[in-house]
Amino acid sequence: MIDKNSTIYIAGHKGMVGSAIWRTLKAKGYDNLIGASSKELDLREQDDVRDFLQEVRPDVIIDAAAKVGGILANNDFPYQFLMENMQIQNNLISEAHNLGVEKFIFLGSSCIYPKLAIQPLKEEYLLTASLESTNEWYALAKITGVKLCQAIRKQFKKDFVSLMPTNLYGIHDNFDLNSSHVLPAMIRKFHEAKENNNASVILWGTGKPMREFLFVDDMAEAVVFALENKLPGYLYNVGTGEDLTIKDLAATIQKTVGHTGDIIWDESKPDGTPRKLMDVSKMHNIGWKHRVNLEEGIQKTYNWFLENIENLKEKTY
């Protein structure tokens, strides 16, 4: 049984998701948390991972570590995105199994589902059709992680479970305009335009595509739910089950930031997938549901952005 004294290793604890899990567990009284930075531990090296886990002897492993990037990076470095992500997760999963770790929580991505799957995306759609070509390398790695956890669960009856989040945003997000996702990029664009006498903001596409967004602290709560309960299935979508148009997202962020200038939609730029919504009924049916609505989450994210803007400026944008 997992309790507040259990040793919990969070791989990727410095990232947006990992740090949210760490923060949430601390707030709930879990004091025996273990983390190691990429400088301290290279998760791609099996011997190093084995030595580290043998030393700390975790009761639980939460895998929030991954090599991530945008469309350009996935397209330019397919080998690294496939190989390094498989190395990271395979080392963690295999050594967890070898050490007798009974609970392993693997975090993936909604990109594991087929490109043209019916909306909303159900867990059973996995491996039923072709993936999106722009990030299939990352998706394939994550699919192997899901299947490894399923295999251990089936063969050895261990509590290895996979959680697939929708688009995440929040505290410690990436606001780099060259590599960030749409929501944090909009926050930065509207803020800088407001500071520049409410200059116009140019956004890509028509604004018609629909997207779903989950505040990262809600994702952390889902991880805690999986930690404190033995989930009956091997794969669960984690999201809000609600989406909105990119145009409505822009209007919400503009209002939160306080920008009063014009929004110009550059329709010469691509829209991307028309809709991407997760079916989260499996999580709802076993007792988990998100708490933070989009407006509140965007406000919390913008507040954090303002508090940390000087540090963010140290990066190259």
Contact 65, 18 (CB under 8 A): yes
29 has binding-site annotation:
no
- Tell me which residue has tokens 């009924």: 281
209 has binding-site annotation:
no
Q: From 9, 11, 79, select the one nearest 43 (Cα to Cα).
A: 11
271 has binding-site annotation:
yes
100 has binding-site annotation:
no
211 has binding-site annotation:
yes
17 has binding-site annotation:
yes
Supply 97's token pair: 């199994």
232 has binding-site annotation:
no
Q: Report the distance separating Cα 105 and Cα 112, nearest Å.
A: 17
297 has binding-site annotation:
no
Give the catalytic positions in this structure: 138
161 has binding-site annotation:
no
* Cβ neighbours of 165 (radius 10 Å): 22
258 has binding-site annotation:
no
194 has binding-site annotation:
no
Q: Report the distance separating Cα 211 and Cα 242, nearest Å.
A: 8
Q: Report the distance separating Cα 101 and Cα 104, nearest Å.
A: 7
Binding residues for substrate: 189, 204, 211, 271
Binding residues for NADP(+): 12-18, 107-110, 142, 165-168, 181
Binding residues: 12-18, 107-110, 142, 165-168, 181, 189, 204, 211, 271
